[in-house]
Amino acid sequence: MTEKTKMLSGELYNPNDRELVAERHKARIGFQKINSLTDEHKKERNKLFRELMPNARKGLWIEPPFYCDYGYNIHTGKHVFFNFNCCILDVMRVDIGNHVLIGPNVQIYTATHPLDAKTRNSLLEFAKPVSIGNDVWIGGGAIICPGVSIGNGVVIGAGAVVTKSVPDNVVIGGNPAKIIKQIDETI
């Protein structure tokens, strides 16, 4: 089994594998070019985003700078907006639904490390997927941790650290994030 196959299946893998290093380098070259383009080059920037994130659907809008590990593990629905300075560690699949608004400085992590020091010191790591439902609003500076699923219609407060999965139609906030209230869709 290749290190990439291990990575994508959530097993311990060596991130210093040549293939993975080359893929991360390619992504970095891509987003560095994207991040250097001015608004006069939006068409070229959008083309480069499509190459970086081939699994994004129609209506993707990203305000640079933007950062990710690979890009190809990010799957977006229609009409997804990323504000400035977002970072996605997409070692494993990140699913983002339709009509999702992502505030500035949001971080989404799939990458994680073993808890026991001996294994962690071997420099092996692993990942857990992240899933974000439809019609979600993620406030600026929020962090979504590995293995978290966010339900549909959720609002995540600015600065929240989401460490556990969240059901549909709630407002969450804090560190660690907790449910603040249920959203009444009739209002």
Active-site positions read 113
Cβ-based neighbour number of residue 97 at 10 Å: 21
The three-state secondary structure class of 21 is helix
Instruction: Find out whether 51 and 30 touch, Cβ atoms under 8 Å.
Output: yes
**Strand pairing of 61-62 and 111-112?**
unpaired
Q: CA 18, 23, 26, 32 torsion: positive or negative?
A: negative
List CB contacts of 41: < 8 A, sequence separation 6 or more. Answer: none
Distance of CA 47 to the CA centre of its chain: 20
